[in-house]
Every structure is written in structure tokens, then in C-alpha cells.
Structure 1
Amino acid sequence: MTQTKWWQKAVVYQIYPRSFQDSNGDGIGDIPGIIQRLPYLKKLGVQVIWLSPIYQSPNDDNGYDISDYQKILPEFGTIADVREMLLVAHELGLKVMMDLVVNHTSDEHYWFQKSCQSKTNAYRDYYIWRDPVNGHAPNNWLSDFGGSAWEYDAKTAQYYLHLFSKKQPDLNWDNPKLRQEIYTMMQWWLNQGVDGFRMDVINLISKRSGMPNDPEVADGNHGSSMVFSANGPNVHQYLQEMNQQVLSKHNIITVGETPGVTTNDAVKYAGFDRHELQMVFQFEHTELDSSHEGLGKWSNERVNLVDLKRILSKWQTNLYGQAWNSLYWNNHDRPRVVSRFGNDSEVYRVQSAKMLAATLHFMQGTPYIYQGEEIGMTNITLSSIDQYQDIDTLNAYDDLVSQKKRVTPEQMMAYIHHSSRDNARTPMQWDNTKNAGFTTGSPWLPVNSNYQTINVSDTFSDRESIFYFYKKLIALRQQLPIITTGRYEVLDLEDEFVYAYRRIGKNSQLLVISNFSDQPQIRHYNFGTITSLIIGNYKDDAGDILRAYETKVYLIEM
């Protein structure tokens, strides 16, 4: 890294449009609603907004099944609304990053509709079709949403691949015509004024040669072949081609969602000299609470702090000087951070949310805040499976409870309360009026019942709120270059209760200390003359005593 790029100092805020702000009373968030709330994001201090998909879609997977990349889903608004949003955002000094979903489309996309017509159709090779093997699917790959990753098409007597829902057929990136269609579409969006792309499961676009069976698949396991099929033989060639033809021509931000990557893989995708992406999302730290009983993510395990430190430290150390980290606790696919890694009880929610924020934001990388994280929104506890909308949750319940009877309904609901994607998708809590100020109608997904005490309006009136803590963290990143450039060093890796690390610069250091427990701890770290406590989540400094979920960050002059 020769010089700091703008996106290395930026903080990104992810908006899940369906749940952010409804402007017309239909219960669904929309683009005019986002425009209405842009001043709020300016007040928070973020530099970039990332929008989950707003494209035309039948919504089998809440917009990640796209039927037209250059049209807007009517319930979100129009392309004119998008242009106004970009204009207003840019006037406020905010950049806008779009979600790019090009591993797969919807089965309602024009390309797939044509592809299904015959084996000789011009669009047939836009997707991955294979003959049956011994009357069955071409291999044993499993969909990430459960069941086989292959769907049989009786009309043409072949199977098509879908690593996710059967309504999300995978695109064939080995077809150069298909790649050019995608690059043209990306350029069109950049011409509209967007400032970058978050690329959905982008390391899946090149499949394994010969598509061999997945050795991890065993009867009865609720799993996926997504990781097995990742990082295929041509993926770097395709991303370098994309970079050369599109990305390199613009001063934009790019991040790739890359399940199953190692730090070595990440250096290939996001290395400073690789000419592919600027950073990747990795999942190691978000999969620590996965089931130990072969149930995938479905569990209610608590994360072990030593394991968490080992993974985050590995990524900080192994990418230093070679590639750039993305920093995140949660997103639209992950449970709420304060419920998962902190303590969402009334007593400790605020302090643990601040502690988690500081722990992450002083690491090297670009932080991503998921909507509602900055006010400490929590997981939701819905009483019935019928109240959930997420296809992944519904399929897992059907598979593990109804079909295989591996889990009781009560156990599965406990796992869902901990792990369901709908935890992150409940409407944004703006105030304590009906439906938390999200909509005047009936919300598409229930509002969390705690909105009367956890909402933006109340957080504004409390100068000690989580919101203002995040605002200060974001401002510090702009003020202190060491947060961007300093070397990371973990302290006392085996400490089961406290996460402490240093950021080391030429003339100064930062010492970050976070108590991940609800019990007081006593720790002493001596690295030089502490000149100031630059941020903490208690009003005073008790020295070596760490109170419940206390976090504090010191500046040390060398």
C-alpha cells in the first residue's frame, strides 16, 4: 500500500431497502424513504451507503434473484427515484455502492427464459446445464438453501445448477458473451453515478473443472456445496478481466463476498497489486457459532472469545501490507451483533454494543455498519415459524423438523431466534410511534416489540447513546491516520474474557482493551506513556479494573 486510498478511510453503512423506510404506506421500504433518511446518515458521519438489491425481482430470495438488472422493483420505486437518490446523496457528500449479484439470476430473467427453450438456443450456454448421470443429478452438490443444487427440466431433459434456490440458476461465466453482457450492465450503472459494487458470492462464478462430487456431503447433513465449489480455476482471470474492462476506469469502492476463503485466497482477490477487488468479506468469525451436530448454521451456541480473537487476529496479521480487510459484525444475512457477540439484556445492551463497536473499528480495514447496529437493535423472537419470511429459515425448518425430524420444533425455534436472517431484516426502528415510524401501513415483517425503548428518536436525545459512540468512532478514523495504517498486534491471545490489541505506528500506538464479559476483570498493560484515553464506554477510567463490557482505547506516544 503506497498511499492511502479514500475507501481505506471510509466507513460504509448498509441499507436493507425493504426494511429501512417506507414512504407510501404499503409496508415495504423504498427509495423515496431512503432519500428521506439520507440526512440521518450524514449526521452519523458515514461516507458510503451500500444498498442491498433494488432491481426487478420476483423476490424468491428478497431481491438476490434478479430478473432485470437495469430495472427497479416497482415496490421500491423507479429509476428516476434512484437518480434522485444519487443526486441527493452526492450533494450530502455520501457515496452509493450497489449490490451486484452476478453468480446467478432469477429463473424469470429473460436470459433463463430463453435458455430453457431448447438445447440449441443462443442463451442456453448462459447457464450451467448437464445431462443426468444414471438417471439422477449430475453430482451430489447441495444447495445452500437445502436439497440438491440441481433442478431437472423435463422439456430439455437436462439439469441446471443452482447453488441457492431453484429459482436462482447459476450463470455460466465460462461463456465470454455472458461476461460481456455483465460488464456492459456494470458500466451502465456506473454511468448512472453509482460509486461502487458489493459483489454477491463473487468467488463462486468459476466452477470446479469436471464438477466432481463434494466429499463433505453425507446423507442427513444440512449443508451446502457452496464452499466446495468456490474459488474455481478461472475466477481470478475473470475478475482481472472485469477490473480491466470496467472497474479500473473509475475511482470506486469494490468488495467481494467470498465464502470459504483463506487469508491466502484473500490476498489473491484483494491484493494491492492484483488488479481485482479492493477487499473481500470473509465469514470465519461469523461461523464460529455454527452447529457441532451437522446442522450448519442452525444452533444457539455462544462464541468462544479466544477463537474469535484467533480468527480476527489472523486476518489482521496475514493481510497487513498485502491486501485490505473489510470489518463487520453483521449484515442482512447475519444475526444482530449485540445479541450474538454481546449481551442484549436491558442491563448490558448499551455497554456491550459500544464495546463491540470499538473492538472492531480500531482494527485495520474498512468498517461496515449494518442498519440499526448504530442504535443497538437486537434479534427478534417470533413465536411461530409462520411469522418468518426468509427462504433459508423456512427451508431449514421444513428439512430439519418436518422432513428429517432431526430437531424438535422447540429446539429449531431456539436456533431460529439465534441464527435466522430475519433477525437482521426487521424494520428500522425510527421512533416510538406505531410500527416504529417505519410505515403507516402493515409492515412486511414484524417490527421488534422493543422499538418503544430502542429507536433513533430516543438515541438522539441521549448524548451517551450508542449512536453518538459510533459517530465518534467514525470521526476518529478520519482524525487519526494510525487507525488506517498502524500494524496490529494482539495481546494475551489466550485470555478468555478480555480482547486487547495494539495498533503500532511510527511515533505512536493505540491500545484497545475490551471486556467481553459481564464480570469485572483486572488487567495491566504497560507499553509506554499513555497520553490520553481517546474513547471509552464508561464516564470515568478505573485504571486496571475493567467493568462489565467495558472498552477503552488509549493513545500512547512513543
Structure 2
Amino acid sequence: MTHKWWQSAVVYQIYPMSFQDSNQDGIGDLPGITSRLDYLQKLGVDVIWLNPIYRSPDQDNGYDIADYRAINPKYGTMTDFDALLAATHAHGMKLLMDLVVNHTSAQHKWFQESQKSKDNPYADYYIWRDPVDGHEPNNWRSAFSGPAWTYVPARGQYYLHLFAPGQPDLNWENPKVREEVFNIERFWLDKGVDGFRMDVINLIAKPAGLPDVPGTPTAGTTLNFVADGKRLNEFLRQMNAEVLSHYDVMTVGEMPGSTPEDAIKYTGLNSHELNMVFQFQHVNLSPNPDVRIGKWYDQPVKLTDLKVALNRWQKALDGKGWNSLYWNNHDQPRAVSRFSNDDPEYRVRAAKMLATTLHMMQGTPYIYEGEEIGMTNAHFTRLDQYEDLESINIYHEMVDHRKLVDGPTMLKYMANISRDNARTPMQWTDGENAGFTKGNPWYALNANYPAINVKQALADRTSVFYHYQKLIQLRHETDLIKYGTFEELDPADNQVYAYRRHYQGQTLLVISNFTDQTVTRDYQQREAGQLLISNYRDDRGTQLRPYESKCYLFN
């Protein structure tokens, strides 16, 4: 089998608003990213993925695009982007753009025209439906609370928005819409970008007739019902045939609700659609037992459940598709807080343990900004500390309107799971505003930045940063880590995550203690096995200290 460059790559995700401010207006920007490329090169990553930087009113932090061919002025200019792209390539790295084409901003010129009448050239660029008995066309719920429909008197119709009302869904059934999207892709690929992360791409093919969601609709059940429509393969194949196949690019599709079987259809090694998907099974674990509240909860993820989720994808895609490997991103809380222990006593070892567990699997690893230094959740305690539309809306819905939980309880849930945990500014130094800006930061810094920052990490050879650097180096050098098959071990063990990888006569053994206890596990790890990496200085064989993780190579 011919291996592709992206199968050896490690991706670093940047949330531009929070990464580095260069002009001291308190907002991260493109020149700020350019100024930090040496740091990313030192880490060893191959690809930078930028969250949306297009012109946008920012109702959903850039995921509501008003102009796909213009840079949001707060991030800089197209000249700044061109300089970043050239500098990224000069540093030996590639650049991945975030493509949001399930929906646009309501301020996009297409929607501004579409809402005027039923007979203008853009009338069918979006999904419009007549009222039913004076109400919404169906019972679908928005991912950001409330109905997924908004009425426009000028048309006498409702338009669909699976997310905020300012994010109307495009009508992919219209060939003109598909051609518009393909032209946008060509614009950026001709500039030299190296691929796309495609936001909620499995929602573009809506169910025929737009029927009601069975049972009691929620935000989650609506997205799962809409996902993976019958024409999705057709739309993705057309995109690949007309655009993607003409460039040497990497593509990853964000696909909420997709199963491994779905992913193989869209990203099979012999298919002609996308390279890999972002699946949600592991990050959707430990939801609230009250389904009406959805993901909002404060209980830890059970290790046995985590194993079921990750092992399922490793086994199902082996030899058939390709995994994306991630713990967190701009839509998820910080990994060390969510999946392990961010207490100062354990944070460093716990962060290294999580990194080892994931990076030794088959797939392309994604590192979210700050993960490589062990950044934690912000632990906010008040509603006015939140900025994210989803978080603020859900508080008011659950506490004020539906009265399903009380305020303090909801704030505990938000402190655990809110997207804002990932969006606090990058912690570069222990100085003013963590070195992010000399201005007034657009969002509050995590209070622990004096202790957790890049300056400290680079000065300490035992830091989380150098552990990530070593993991990336091992992946680059070791075909077994990149391509080996996956063998799960003891899936019912609720303390230790262990697995083996096999490739061309070699075996890799990975053992991770997910607890703060010392436990014993015997996998014959010291019988002719070479210790590749560990988060402790010495190896005590079958004894696993708190959050200990280690990998052995057997030839």
C-alpha cells in the first residue's frame, strides 16, 4: 500500500483569536501566528490547522462566514495571510484551512439576497419552507438552543439553521451552491494551502422531505437525525472529483454522530472522498442522565467507556480507513481536566499519560494549542465569565426557562464541559497577560498562567512540552507507530488502559495508569522489551505509579 504524507503527520490546531496578538489590540492575529512558527517547528509538528479567519460578524466565533475570500480584519489582511502561508512552508510545515460550508453567516450576500423573495437568483441557495399550521415546518431543534427555524416576513417562509439564527444552512441540493463551494476551495488551494478541515460536513445532505425527529427532539437528536443523509457520498465524491483530487491535500471532515461504518464510506483508503473524519464518540461520553440536559454534566468519564469508544475506531478502521486522534479542540474542554487530573500534584504526569495513550494509536494526531504544555480548564464560577453563545444559551434555557437544574449546578456543568475552557488565551510566559498581548485581552486568561506557560515548559526538560516533542519524533521515525494494527488488552480493566500494536514482526506495548493509585499489571513488559518512552525516570516493571504511562518495543 502506498502511504500518504498525512499518515505520518502531526497536526497543531490554532484558535487564532487566542494564540498570539501582534498589534496589542487584545485579539490574536495572523502576524502573531507567524511570529510563533519557530516554536511550532521546535515542537515538531507537520501541519497547522487554523480555525476560521474569514470575514465574519462572529456570532459563533468565525463559524458564521460572511465572505469566504476575505480575511477578518481583526486577524489582519490577505497580505498577512500570504506571509503566514509562505513562512509556514519555509519552516517545513503545511497549512490547513477551516472550511465551513454547511451554513454561512446571515450577513453573507447570498443570504441577504435569498431572504428578499422567492424568485431572485439566490432564492434557493438556502433551505426555505412554508409554515405548517402557523408554526415551524418541523420539530427540529438548533444545536444552540431553540427551534432550528426562523421566520422571514418578506418571503413568508422559515429558513433552516441547525446552529444559530445567524447561521442559515446552505441548500446542497442546488447544483449552483455546490459549484460555489468548489470555487471557494479552488481559490484557497490555488493560493497554496494544503487542505481543509470541514466543519459539520456530514450535515450537508438533509433527509428527504425534512421529516420530524422521532420522539422528543433535542439539539443532539436533531443533529444525529440530520447527519449522514443519503446524498452525502454523492456530494463528497463530486467535491473530490472536481476539486480535491487535483491537489496533493489533506482533508478531515467533522462528522457528529458518525459511526466507524459511516467513516469507512466517506474516508475509505480506496474511496475518493475525504482522508479522515473527526468522530465524537469519546468526547460525548458521560452525558447527563437526564437526556433533556444533553452533554451538560460534571461526572468524570469512565475508563472502560473510553476504551470502548477509542478501541472501536482503532479496530474498525484498521486497513480500511484512517483515524484522526484528538483529546480536545476549540469545541471541547481541556483534556487533562476532562479525561484525567489537573490537580497541580498530578497535572504534568496526567497530561503526559494522556498524550502517550493517544499518540501511540493508528491515525493522525491533533494537538490543540496549549495542550502541549498541559493547559487546564479555566474553572469559571460565574455566568458573566462566559463568552460562548452555546454556553450562555444553555444556561438560560436549563435554568431560567425550563428550570431543569438550578444555577449553581448548571455552572458546575459548564465549568466541566463548556467550550470556553479551550478558548482562554495561550499562556506564553508568566508575565503581563501571559505574553499573549500587551493590550486588554479579548477574553480572560486562565488564572494559573504564572505556573503553566511556554517559558516555564521550555526551561524544564521534564515538562509536558518535551514529552510531546518526543512522541512526535517517535511517530516520525517508527513505522510501527504509524501503521501497526491494534490489539486491545483487558477492556474491562477500569484502572489501566493497555494495548499492543503490530507491524512487520515488531510489537509495541502501551500501558497507562489512569488513576492516582499505584497498581500492578503484568504484560511481560520487561522481557526483552525496549522502553521507548515513559513519564517517570525509572521503570519499575509491573508496578504502575499514579498516572504512569510507558511504551515498550519488542523486535
Partner amino acid, structure 2, of 1:376: G
Q: Say if 2:486 is the partner of 1:488.
A: yes
Within 5 Å, give how 1:175-254 maps onto structure 2. 175-218=174-217, 223-254=220-251
Shift in Å at residue 529 of structure 1?
A: 4.2
Cα shift readout 1:242-272 (whole Å, capped 9, x = no counterpart): 0001100111110000000011100001001
Distance 1:359 1:531 in 2: 18
Shift in Å at residue 216 of structure 1?
A: 4.0
Shift in Å at residue 526 of structure 1?
A: 2.9
Cα shift readout 1:35-61 (whole Å, capped 9, x = no counterpart): 000110000000000000000000000
Partner of 1:430: 428
Partner of 2:459: 461
Distance 1:347 1:373 in 2: 18
Whether the 8 Å contact between 1:256 and 1:281 is mirrored in structure 2 is: yes
SS of aligned partner of 1:449: coil
Partner amino acid, structure 2, of 1:201: V
Partner of 1:387: 385
- Percent sequence identity over aligned pairs: 56
Shift in Å at residue 405 of structure 1?
A: 1.4
SS of aligned partner of 1:511: strand
* Structure 2 counterpart of 1:282, from 279, 295, 302: 279
Partner of 1:8: 7
Whether the 8 Å contact between 1:258 and 1:282 is mirrored in structure 2 is: yes
Q: Say if 2:455 is the partner of 1:448.
A: no
Q: Say if 2:260 is the partner of 1:258.
A: no
Distance 1:216 1:518 in 2: 42
Whether the 8 Å contact between 1:141 and 1:217 is mirrored in structure 2 is: no
Q: TM-score, normalised by structure 2?
A: 0.99
Shift in Å at residue 233 of structure 1?
A: 1.4
Partner amino acid, structure 1, of 2:205: S
Q: Say if 2:120 is the partner of 1:127.
A: no
Whether the 8 Å contact between 1:339 and 1:378 is mirrored in structure 2 is: yes
Whether the 8 Å contact between 1:281 and 1:326 is mirrored in structure 2 is: yes
Distance 1:336 1:289 in 2: 15
Partner of 2:336: 338
Cα shift readout 1:85-104 (whole Å, capped 9, x = no counterpart): 00100000010000000000
Shift in Å at residue 514 of structure 1?
A: 0.1
SS of aligned partner of 1:137: coil
Partner of 1:409: 407
Residues 1:556 and 1:97: Cα distance change in structure 2 (over 3 Å)? same
Shift in Å at residue 383 of structure 1?
A: 2.8
SS of aligned partner of 2:487: strand
Q: Say if 2:74 is the partner of 1:75.
A: yes
- Runs of 4+ in structure 1 off by over 6 angstroms are none
Distance 1:331 1:70 in 2: 25
Distance 2:444 2:528 in 1: 48
Distance 1:304 1:181 in 2: 44
Distance 2:364 2:76 in 1: 30
Within 5 Å, give how 1:94-113 maps onto structure 2. 94-113=93-112
Shift in Å at residue 424 of structure 1?
A: 0.2
Shift in Å at residue 384 of structure 1?
A: 1.8
Distance 1:170 1:140 in 2: 16
Partner of 2:503: 505
Shift in Å at residue 418 of structure 1?
A: 0.3
Partner amino acid, structure 2, of 1:210: G
Partner amino acid, structure 1, of 2:118: K
Within 5 Å, give how 1:325-364 maps onto structure 2. 325-364=323-362
SS of aligned partner of 1:163: coil
Whether the 8 Å contact between 1:197 and 1:255 is mirrored in structure 2 is: yes
Partner of 1:93: 92
SS of aligned partner of 1:478: helix
Whether the 8 Å contact between 2:381 and 2:412 is mirrored in structure 1 is: no
Distance 2:415 2:10 in 1: 29
Q: Say if 2:302 is the partner of 1:301.
A: no
Partner of 1:291: 288
Shift in Å at residue 165 of structure 1?
A: 0.2
Structure 1, gaps ≥5 residues long: none
SS of aligned partner of 2:223: coil
Cα shift readout 1:96-133 (whole Å, capped 9, x = no counterpart): 00000000000000000000110111101000000011
Structure 2, gaps ≥5 residues long: none
Partner of 1:136: 135
Residues 1:523 and 1:435: Cα distance change in structure 2 (over 3 Å)? same
Partner of 1:473: 471
Whether the 8 Å contact between 1:22 and 1:28 is mirrored in structure 2 is: yes
Distance 2:239 2:75 in 1: 29
Cα shift readout 1:16-49 (whole Å, capped 9, x = no counterpart): 0000001111111000000000110000000000
Whether the 8 Å contact between 2:142 and 2:219 is mirrored in structure 1 is: no
SS of aligned partner of 2:422: helix
SS of aligned partner of 1:467: helix
Cα shift readout 1:281-329 (whole Å, capped 9, x = no counterpart): 0000000021111211110111010111011111000101000000000
Q: TM-score, normalised by structure 1?
A: 0.98
CA RMSD of aligned residues (A): 1.0
SS of aligned partner of 2:167: coil
SS of aligned partner of 2:511: strand
SS of aligned partner of 1:127: coil
Partner of 2:43: 44
Distance 2:504 2:66 in 1: 52
Cα shift readout 1:442-471 (whole Å, capped 9, x = no counterpart): 111100010000000000010000000000
Cα shift readout 1:130-185 (whole Å, capped 9, x = no counterpart): 00111110000000001100111111110000000000000000000111011011
SS of aligned partner of 1:124: coil
Residues 1:224 and 1:148: Cα distance change in structure 2 (over 3 Å)? farther
Residues 1:428 and 1:528: Cα distance change in structure 2 (over 3 Å)? closer
Whether the 8 Å contact between 1:143 and 1:224 is mirrored in structure 2 is: no
Partner amino acid, structure 2, of 1:43: K
Distance 1:222 1:74 in 2: 32
Shift in Å at residue 200 of structure 1?
A: 0.1
Whether the 8 Å contact between 2:498 and 2:511 is mirrored in structure 1 is: yes
